[in-house]
């Protein structure tokens, strides 16, 4: 590997931002009202950059039911006690004080695309000229599954704390069973990194079993690295099986039925099949599928009747990896397109299209003080009208340097989203 990852990420992020910065907006009769739903990685970035680049020409409102977002990124380190959950919580104070984003603490229930009106759970309806949806994922629940007994910990917060508590209460030599859904799911390397960290915990407590039941035909990211870690570091602990279909879950008895037979464990971590969050699905934006189809040059819905509704982050279905780094990159392209359109500037000229790039990065702790990493760059393909993989790189080794760089990378990302 010749690439220096830190420079690589910095360069690609800056390139995406620079190529996306819009020109001066033309005079409008009033500020356009852009409403962003969801204050996670995609939504907070979009709200920030809409105001940062659009200034007084746009009135930006961010809606999220929680006062602070809890980051999934780095949340596997809460499970092994390396990070407190409180360090992964981010409020919206800077978005308001530094950029002028208005924040409403509420949950959006319905979208009326004709009236351009949102129905909120508690407050009066909110109108928009342009809508950005960044409401993340939801789960297709397996039969019998009770999340409060067999946590997913795939949306960070109370579920992360519950899984951590269950792991800490595990008896010596106990069994941890984890199920991995079919791709696409949020954070392709995430389940395998979790398996490594739990194996590391069990091993340092005298042993145990980590049973990994993967619905896919094989490891979905950094295959060579995780295979080697499973064999060399955790050969006596990790039992990995591919192509395993999950059936009924008996959460009261801690038993999962699968195509490979029944498995019981002291702790069962069900990571279910994923799809766009309820707001996007229930309002017809997935066209009956799992993810929302979008134009990747603007992230506007491609479905008729949803003009000026943009979907970014994990909920959109463009085939790019579902990651926080990617949601951050998509948000900037989306914000740029919205501002150009509001200024009556074209979004589809060749110079802009050629410069549309996004990138994804995931660091994976493999032990409590080493990590690997994976990054991928996507470039707009003018012939196909889609994002195409332009470059992929991975660490190939788990090292202490990678582990410490992981914190720099995460802190930079958090600051770019909420800072
Ligand atoms: C264990 C783990 C490790 C990960 N590690 C990495 C990593 O190393 N690198 C990386 O890039 N990615 C990583 N990810 C993936 C990353 O967390 C997601 O891809 C990212 O959070 C997606 O951003 P998003 O904006 O689409 O959704 P989210 O960040 O989930 O934000 C969604 C927001 O929408 C809000 N919302 C939902 N419904 C409504 C509604 N109806 N009204 C108003 N608001 C609503 C929610 O409250 C939430 O704040 C990891 C994920 C996991 C689970």
Please tell me the residue having the least CA distance from ligand 1 atom 39.
135
Q: Could you tell me if the CB of 322 is within 6 A of ligand 1?
A: yes
CATH topology of domain 140-273: FAD/NAD(P)-binding domain (3.50.50)
Residue 8: Cβ within 10 Å count: 16
Arithmetic mean of pLDDT, 17-45 = 69
Closest CA to 229 of 409, 404, 364: 364
Q: What pLDDT does 20 receive?
A: 39
Strand order in the sheet with 117-120: 108-112, 117-120, 126-127
**Interval 81-125: pLDDT, tens:** 999 999 999 999 999 999 999 999 999 999 999 999 999 999 899
Ligand 1 contact via 176 beta carbon (within 6 Å): no
DSSP string of 270-326, one letter each residue: E--EEEE-HHHHHTTTTTTSSSB-EETTTTEE-STT-TTEEE-GGGB-SSS---HHH
Q: Contact 339/302 with Cβ under 8 angstroms? A: no
38-74 in b/e burial notation, b at 16+ Cβ within 10 A?
Answer: bbbbbbbbbbbbbbbbbeebbbbbbbbeeebbbbbbb
- Cβ 310 vs Cβ 298: under 8 Å: yes
pLDDT band at residue 12, thresholds of 50, 70 and 90?
Answer: very low
Q: Tell me, what's the pLDDT at 110?
A: 98
Residue 142 CB less than 6 A away from ligand 1: no
Mean per-residue pLDDT over the chain, rounded: 93
Angle (nearest 5°) at CA 189 between 183 and 190: 95
List Cβ neighbours of 69 (8 Å cut-off, separation of 6 or more): 39, 40, 44, 89, 90, 418
- In this predicted structure, the answer to whether residue 347 has a pLDDT above a threshold of 60 is yes
Contact 34, 128 (CB under 8 A): yes
Q: Do 5-136+277-412 and 140-273 have matching folds?
A: yes
* pLDDT above 70 coverage of the chain, percent: 93
Residue 30 is predicted with a pLDDT of: 75
User: The domain 5-136+277-412: what is its CATH number?
Assistant: 3.50.50.60
Domain range list for the chain: 5-136+277-412, 140-273
Q: Is the CB of 64 under 6 A from ligand 1?
A: yes
Q: State pLDDT tens for residues 150-169.
A: 999 999 999 999 999 999 99
**b or e along 239-263 (b: 16 or more beta carbons within 10 Å of the residue's beta carbon)?**
bbeeebebeebbbeebbbbbeeeeb
Structure tokens at 16: 């995406």
Q: Say if residue 46's pLDDT is above 90.
A: yes
Are the C-beta atoms of residues 109 and 119 closer than 8 Å to each other? yes
Mean pLDDT of 128-142: 98
State yes or no: pLDDT of 290 exceeds 70: yes
Ligand 1 atom with the smallest distance to the CA of 153 is 53
Predicted confidence band at 8 (pLDDT cuts at 50, 70, 90)?
very low
Task: Say if residue 301's pLDDT is above 70.
Answer: yes
pLDDT digits (tens, 9 = 90+) for 394-408: 998 999 999 999 999
* Contact 41 CB / ligand 1 (< 6 Å): yes
């Amino acid at each position: 590997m010749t690439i220096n990852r830190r420079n690589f990420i910095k360069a690609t992020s800056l390139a995406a931002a620079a190529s996306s910065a819009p020109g001066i907006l033309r005079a409008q009769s009033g500020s356009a009202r852009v409403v962003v739903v969801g204050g996670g990685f995609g939504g907070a970035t979009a709200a920030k950059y809409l105001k940062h680049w659009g200034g007084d020409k746009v009135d930006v409102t961010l809606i999220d039911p929680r006062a602070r977002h809890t980051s999934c990124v780095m949340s596997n380190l809460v499970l092994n006690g390396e990070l407190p959950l409180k360090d992964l919580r981010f409020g919206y104070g800077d978005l308001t004080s530094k950029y002028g984003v208005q924040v409403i603490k509420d949950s959006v229930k319905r979208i009326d695309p004709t009236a351009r009106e949102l129905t909120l759970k508690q407050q009066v309806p909110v109108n928009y000229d342009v809508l950005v949806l960044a409401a993340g994922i939801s789960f297709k629940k397996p039969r019998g599954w009770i999340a409060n007994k067999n946590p997913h910990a795939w949306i960070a917060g109370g579920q992360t704390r519950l899984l951590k508590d269950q792991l800490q209460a595990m008896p010596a030599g106990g069994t941890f069973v984890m199920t991995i859904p079919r791709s696409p799911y949020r954070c392709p390397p995430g389940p395998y990194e979790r398996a490594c960290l739990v194996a590391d915990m069990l091993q340092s407590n005298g042993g145990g079993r980590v049973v990994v039941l993967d619905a896919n035909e094989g490891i979905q990211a950094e295959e060579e690295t995780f295979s080697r870690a499973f064999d060399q570091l955790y050969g006596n602990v990790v039992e990995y099986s591919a192509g395993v279909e999950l059936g009924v879950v008996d959460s009261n008895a801690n038993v999962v039925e699968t195509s490979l037979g029944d498995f019981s464990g002291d702790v069962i971590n069900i990571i279910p099949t994923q799809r766009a969050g309820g707001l996007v699905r229930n309002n017809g934006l997935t066209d009956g599928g799992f993810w929302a189809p979008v134009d990747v040059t603007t992230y506007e819905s491609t479905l008729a009747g949803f003009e000026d509704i943009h979907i970014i982050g994990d909920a959109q279905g463009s085939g790019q990896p579902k990651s926080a780094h990617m949601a951050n990159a998509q948000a900037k392209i989306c914000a740029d397109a919205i501002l150009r359109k509001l200024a009556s500037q074209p979004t589809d000229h060749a110079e802009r299209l050629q410069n549309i790039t996004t990138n994804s990065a995931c660091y994976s702790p493999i032990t409590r003080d080493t990590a690997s990493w994976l990054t991928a760059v996507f470039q707009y393909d003018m012939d196909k009208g889609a994002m195409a993989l332009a470059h992929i790189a991975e660490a190939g080794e788990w090292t202490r340097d990678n582990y410490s760089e992981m914190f720099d990378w995460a802190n930079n990302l958090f600051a770019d989203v909420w800072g």
